[in-house]
Amino acid sequence: MSNDNHIQKWNECLSIIRDLIPVEQFKSWFEPITSLGLEGDRLTLRVPSPYFSEHLDVRYPKILVPVLRRVYGPNVKLFYRYNQVGNESSTAVDVRSENASPVIKPGLPPANPFNIEAAPEIDSQLNPRYTFENYCGSMCNKVARAIGMTIGDDPSCKTFNPLFIIGPSGSGKTHLMHAIGIRLKEHQPAMRVLYVTARLFESQFTTASLKGKINEFINFYQSIDTLIIDDIQDLIGKDKTQNAFFHIFNHLHLNNRQIIMSSDCPTSQMKGLSERMMTRFKWGMTVKLDRPDLELRREVLLQKAQSDGLTLADDVLDYIAQNVTGSIRELEGVMVSLVAHAAILNVDITVDLARNVINNAVRMNVAATPQINFEMVTQSVSAYYNIDPDAIYSKTRKREISDARQMVMYLAKKHVKMQSVTIGTRLSRSHSTVLYAIKNIEERLPFEKQLQEDISSIEKLFNEQQK
């Protein structure tokens, strides 16, 4: 096909698409695309970045695919071409369009955090499946969802900066942060949005330190327009990484850049995080995501069923929603198991089948209950001994506080499976102190009935908190 002809056909596609979507979306996501040619049934379109192609596949397949088939014929095969590194055409790759392709493709290197000039276009690491359109809402996440949409819909709004999202695992923190990032990119595709976990941030910092490139590392992160960092509590005890993040945070905030963070616990429980860092977390807005309530659990199940092309009876939806109460991930896992059982056994999805699947998968709420964590141990020990939880973290050596602190160390090792070094970090104690405390209780336990009763009573408090 001649050069003019394939360009003419692509312009015809653009003309059709322009009439089907809002003008802002068209300008953001279709005007930047150019046609590179049609060879046989293979159409190649140039897009600015891998994220761009992923977004088109996930958000616009019901528009793009029919239009292409109408203009180019029913057998057209779509390929995207983009540069892996900035404007260097030598790094260009072709990727075939897939309606459900992942964000990070196998073999595709992650964004280079040490070379800004070579990579003005960064991979935002956003998952296109996590959007506001499929983020189910109820009273347990209404405030957080509304604030997130406000930030995403108005990139100039910095009322909630920084935004600090807290909530237990499986409550939807990660989905919400990705949805904000994707909405920001929809409004401003050129915006440098980056999602990163605190663990990856710490790993990158360690690598930069070993290579003598800490300045480059900090400069890269200071170039971000919206920084989204997940599980910020993982920086606890990482003093050097915290210091680097402190400088990055200050620079971004002073320059009116958006910062979004998440944690599974509030700042008041982040012992081991510097005071200056915790103070800055409180500058903006803190929102809490609670465990999914019945309304949200039912909505998640309904949406999952619809996405899988299933129709579930109300009694089945209600049964699952009432008996799997732990997290959204567990609900999705039960749905996957339910569909697999129905397909393999060639039976309809009924309440009886759901009951069998839940019994095998989560044992009727047992696995759906929240996991015991360090904060739960601390709160239970404090409640049992009737002392202030903050006293356990203090430096006081009063006998009653010291005994309670040793109990926390022992139970954190036993139930949370924490390393002794980690326990010491959370309590601002040395590794040897933790080892001594654990050994002390283990040696006394077989001979002291009161100690046995104390531990049994505290463990019962764990169960009450899990209900």
Does residue 153 register a pLDDT over 80?
A: yes
Banded pLDDT at 258 (limits 50, 70, 90): very high
Both tokens of residue 71? 């203009």
Q: Output the CA–CA distances (angstroms, integers) from residue 429 to 271, 368, 409, 417, 420, in the order listed.
A: 11, 33, 10, 18, 10
Give pLDDT tens digits for 431-443. Answer: 888 999 999 998 8
Query: Residue 387 — φ and ψ, nearest 5°?
Result: -130, 160
What's the whole-number mean pLDDT along residues 325-333? 74
Distance, CA of 148 to CA of 180 (rounded, Å):
6
The pLDDT assigned to 102 comes to 30
CA neighbours closer than 13 Å in the CB half-sphere of residue 118: 10
Q: Answer yes or no: is pLDDT of 361 > 70.
A: no
**Pairing mode of beta strands 77-83, 92-96:** antiparallel
- What's the mean pLDDT in 82-107? 56
pLDDT tens readout for residues 408-464: 999 988 888 887 877 887 788 888 889 999 999 988 888 888 898 899 889 888 766
pTM, full prediction = 0.51
pLDDT band at 367 (very low <50, low <70, confident <90, very high): very low
Q: Which residue has the higher pLDDT, 32 or 328?
A: 32
Which of 313, 304, 378, 380 has the alpha carbon at shortest distance from 129? 304
Bridge partners (DSSP) listed for residue 259: 227
Q: Which long-range contacts (CB under 8 A, 24 or more apart) does 109-112 make?
A: 109/84, 111/194, 112/85
- Residue 31 neighbours by CB under 8 Å, 6+ apart: 14
So what's the pLDDT on residue 121? 66
Cα maximum dimension of the chain: 90
Predicted confidence band of residue 88 (pLDDT cuts 50, 70, 90): low
Strands 193-197 and 226-230: parallel
What is the average per-residue pLDDT within 229-234? 88
The least confident of 35-44, 108-117, 298-307, 446-455 is 108-117
Alpha-carbon distance of 179 to 148, in angstroms, equals: 8
Do strands 285-288 and 163-166 pair parallel, antiparallel, or not at all (unpaired)?
parallel
Predicted local confidence at residue 1, as pLDDT? 53
Token code pair at residue 89: 């055409």
Instruction: Give the pLDDT confidence of 234-254 residue by residue, as tens digits.
Output: 888 888 888 889 889 988 888
The pLDDT of residue 24 is: 78
List, edge to edge, every strand of the sheet that includes 285-288. Answer: 193-197, 226-230, 258-263, 163-166, 285-288
